[in-house]
Structure formats: C-alpha cells, structure tokens
C-alpha cells in the first residue's frame, strides 16, 4: 500500500514541477509571434513586425523590436517602433474573463505623428473597421441582417431561406454566418480589461504638420509613469517628463523654441484634470505653474510664475517680434476662465504682475511711432531704441480687457507712467505721462510750459488706436493749466515774497479741495 502512495506522490510532485516550469520558463515559439501578428494587423490596420515574442505564464509577455508601418501617403519611417514592450498581468482573473494588466512598459519607443495638407493624421483609421469589408470563408461579401448574423446570397443552394417581409419580395437563398449576435451577447463574451500602470522609458516623439497650423514641427524625448483606475469611470495619476524639446512654429522665420526640461505631474478624476507644480526650463529661465481644468464644465484655473526668462528668445519663438524686445522677464499671474472660443475670452478674469529688467525696445511699431510723436513735441535727439532699467506693473483681466494703474518704464533717458486698458480685441486706451531726464535733453531746451519743478520736460498725452496703428494726442488742456499755475506762482512770489506766496498757495489749494467736495 505504501508503494502505490509513494509512486502517486512522485507523480504529483513531477506534475507540480512541470506546472512550475511551464509557468516560469519563457516560451518563445514562432507560432506565438504569428498569432500576435495575426491579431495586431487587423486592429491597427498597418503592417506590423515583431522580432520575438516571449511569454512567461506567471509574469507576462515581452515583445522585442516592434514596428508598426506608417499610413500610405506619409513618410517611409514607421509610425511606431520600440525596442521592447513588456506586459505584466495577473493570471487568476482570466478564469473570470477579466484581463488585469498590472503594468505596460514601453522601452525606447519612437512615435512619429504626421498631418498632411488636407488635415489628415497618419494615425487615422487605427483601431477602427472603417474601410474594411466583411467576407465569407469563400471570399464573398457579407451584409448584416440586423439580427446578429452576416449573410451572403447563395442562389441555387438550399442552405437557408429568408423572406424580405418589408418589401414583399420573394424569398432568396442565403448562406448564413454567425457573428456576435447582440450587444448583450457581445458584453458577455467581451473580456473585461483593467490596466493599472503604463510607463514609457527613454521614448522619443516627433511631429510634422503640413496643414499650416501654428505648430509646424516638434521633437522631444519622453518619459512617463501613469497609474490608471477603471472601476468607477476612468481615472489616472502620474508624471510626464519631456526633455530636449525643440518646436518650430509657423512661419518658419520664427526661431525654434527649445525646452530643456518640462515636468508635468497630473491627476485626472471625475473629468477634472489637475496639474500641480508644472515646471518648464526654457529661454534661460524657469516657468512654474498650477492648473485645474474641468472638462465637463469647461472651467479653467491657472496660476503661473516666470523667473529670469530671456524675453527675446521667448518672443522670437512664439511671435514675429524677433529682436525687438530685450531683457529679463518675470511674471506672477492668476487666471480663471469658463467656456469656449469668444465666450472663454469674455469670461476670463484674473490678476498679476509682469516686469522686464535691464533691456531695450527696438523696432516695435508702437515704439517707433511713440518716438516720432515725441520728437514733434519735445527737442529730443533722434532715437532708434528705448533702453530701460525696468518695465512693467500690475494688471487686472476682466471682460476681455487688461487694466493697469501703475505700468511704468524707468530708464536713464526717460520715465513713463501709464494708466488705462488694452482690449483683447486690440484697442488701446491709456493716459500716459512722460518725464525726460537731463541725459536726454537739457532743461534749457524745454519750453517753460512743459517744465516740471526740476526743470525737466513733463509731457502728458493719450494713447488710443491699436498696437499696429497707435494714435498719440497731447493733453493740451492739462499742459496749459500747468503753465498758468506756474506763471501765477512766479508772479505771486515777485509780488509778496516766497514765504507769503507759499502760504497763499496752501489757501488756494484748500479752497480748491472745498469746491471739489461741493
């Protein structure tokens, strides 16, 4: 009796060892690769190549050197190529028709995105049945009868009869091929899929857009770690890291924008995208930002701060203002918005501060016309540019209008203060006061009506129109009033003396305040 038990134990032990070996030893049969290619090609609608497929039952699947061909009419380079794709899964849930993927790792993937002049992307058609035709095993076209079967007319074969009860036509002979009968049956047969984590290591993304969009091309390295929840809707949390990013904007005369590092820690849950501590290293400076975007309500909340960024590099990449504004940029702003398109602009509101330091303005249409206007009013020398020590101020954004009360330019040549607004539609409406310094013009050259207490020129004027077509208008009334007051003060001092004149000015000032209150 003991001998059969012993033999049985040995057999069980051998079976256990075999099962363990089957579950832990990699399987690399060529048939696995053929099966993977057979399943992948119809889904992707592209030619797919895989050098090797390895499966370890208790660990997962590994695909080596995967290539997905590009769409016809686009570049010869593949739309996707990767050194390795690793899929780690849980085995037991498969018994309950659940595919639980613990982790998907893409090692050194290269992704090429292209859009042609007609606006069609090279990834269009992937994972769709668009353009595919259902055929029978004999190669004949099939059509759905709406009852969960594909049917092909087979005249002369008594394989089945089906009358068209809607039109009253005579019955035709059909061969019937079953497919997933109903949505309910599809759901029963469908494998429930859960992916817990996706990672991209040492990836590369390239984009080419020929549709005359704002972004012409982009190339960047990418690393990604993302956890995913699919139990109660879709939720994800992770970090995207872009490095050595180069973007070329349209027109191509713009300088390429280079970003050495872009870190995006994010969380998406209940249609709310939250980005905390976004960090961008570009243009010799750093941008930090926080954002909340409610995709359901289309609400946006943004906070951003820029430290020591080269303004010329930034403007040369994003606008046509190359080599026009130099200096170091610093900003601190908060913006809230809701809606889309024009409604989004109208509803936007916020506040902030912007400052440029140690730079110059050269070649801006607004600057050129401003200097031309000043030269007709003041005896200033011909200037090509305006150097400055600081330029900026606080602002409020509301109802598509940016308003400021303390925007100032400080330089060794002049000092400018401005109060007013700039409409996002392009309209200017500012009250500006300019004060020259002795370095720009001598006080002896300044008309007496324009002199301040220090003898330098003081010019108040209005700025209207647009940035492209600004309109400058001196405030003659204010200047005349100032000149009259100055003349009266001088005559009063001559008549009664300096001390009595000062006392009289205080009395006049008090009377003025009294009349204002009334």
- 377 CB-near residues (< 8 Å, 6+ apart): 459, 474
Measured distance CA(31)–CA(29) in Å, rounded = 5
Question: What does the CA dihedral 397, 401, 406, 408 come to, rounded to 10 degrees?
Answer: 120
User: pLDDT value at position 479?
Assistant: 60
Mean pLDDT score across all residues of the chain: 79
Q: For position 55, what pLDDT does the model report?
A: 82
The closest alpha carbon to 418, from 426, 406, 428, belongs to: 406
Tokens of 11: 């057999």
Contact 188, 209 (CB under 8 A): no
User: What kind and span of H or E run contains 365?
Assistant: helix 365-377
Q: How far is CA 468 from CA 279, 290, 339, 427, 428, in A?
A: 34, 33, 29, 10, 10
Give the contacts of 428 (CB within 8 A, at least 6 positions apart). Answer: 420, 422, 463, 464, 465, 466, 467, 470
Neighbours of 281 (CB within 10 A): 16
List, in sequence order, every residue forming a beta bridge with 458; answer none if it has no partner.
435
Distance CA 134, CA 3 (A): 61
Task: Look at residue 101 in the predicted model and tell me its pLDDT.
Answer: 83
Distance (Å, whole) CA 460 – CA 476: 8
**In the chain, which stretches have pLDDT less than 70?**
1-29, 94, 127-193, 444, 448-449, 476-518
């Amino acid at each position: 009796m003991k001998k059969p038990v012993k033999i049985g134990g040995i057999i069980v032990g051998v079976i256990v060892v075999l099962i363990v070996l089957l579950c832990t030893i990699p399987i690399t049969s060529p048939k696995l690769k053929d099966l993977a290619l057979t399943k992948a090609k119809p889904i992707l609608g592209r030619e797919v190549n895989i050098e090797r497929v390895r499966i370890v039952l208790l660990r997962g699947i590994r695909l080596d050197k995967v290539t997905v061909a590009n769409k016809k009419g686009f570049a010869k380079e593949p739309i996707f190529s990767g050194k390795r794709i690793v899929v780690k899964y849980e085995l037991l849930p498969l018994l309950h028709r659940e595919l639980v993927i613990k982790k998907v790792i893409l090692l050194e993937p290269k992704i090429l995105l292209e859009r042609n002049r007609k606006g069609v992307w090279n990834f269009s058609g992937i994972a769709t049945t668009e353009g595919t035709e259902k055929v029978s095993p004999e190669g004949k076209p099939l059509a759905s009868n709406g009852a969960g079967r594909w049917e092909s007319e087979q005249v002369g074969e008594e394989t089945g009869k089906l009358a068209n009860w809607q039109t009253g036509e005579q019955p035709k002979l059909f061969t019937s091929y079953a497919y997933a009968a109903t949505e309910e049956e599809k759901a029963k047969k469908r494998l429930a899929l859960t992916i817990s984590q996706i990672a991209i290591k040492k990836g590369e993304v390239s984009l080419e857009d020929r549709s005359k969009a704002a972004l012409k091309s982009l190339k960047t390295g990418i690393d990604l770690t993302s956890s995913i929840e699919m139990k109660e809707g879709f939720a994800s949390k992770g970090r995207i890291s872009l490095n050595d990013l180069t973007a070329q904007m349209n027109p191509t005369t713009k300088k390429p924008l280079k970003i050495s590092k872009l870190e995006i820690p994010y969380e998406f849950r209940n249609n709310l995208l939250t980005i905390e501590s976004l960090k961008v290293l570009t243009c010799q400076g750093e941008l930090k930002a926080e954002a909340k975007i409610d995709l359901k309500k289309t609400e946006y909340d943004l906070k951003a701060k820029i430290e020591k960024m080269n303004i010329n590099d930034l403007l040369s990449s994003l606008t046509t203002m190359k080599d026009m504004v130099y200096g170091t940029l610093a900003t601190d702003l908060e913006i809230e918005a809701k809606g889309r398109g024009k409604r989004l602009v109208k509803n936007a509101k916020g506040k902030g501060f912007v400052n440029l330091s140690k730079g110059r303005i050269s070649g801006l249409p607004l600057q050129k016309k401003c200097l031309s206007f000043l030269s007709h009013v003041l005896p200033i020398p011909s200037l090509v540019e305006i150097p400055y020590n600081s330029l900026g101020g606080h602002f409020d954004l509301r109802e598509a209008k940016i308003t400021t009360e303390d925007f100032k330019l400080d330089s060794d040549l002049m000092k400018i203060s401005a109060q007013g607004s700039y409409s996002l539609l392009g309209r200017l409406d500012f009250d500006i006061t300019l004060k020259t310094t002795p370095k720009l013009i001598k006080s002896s050259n300044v008309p007496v009506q324009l002199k301040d207490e220090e003898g330098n020129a003081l010019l108040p004027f209005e700025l209207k129109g647009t940035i492209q077509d600004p309109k400058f208008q001196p405030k003659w009334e204010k200047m005349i009033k100032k000149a009259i007051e100055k003349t009266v003060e001088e005559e009063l001092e001559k008549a009664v003396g300096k001390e009595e004149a000062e006392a009289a000015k205080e009395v006049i000032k008090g009377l003025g305040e009294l009349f204002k209150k009334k």
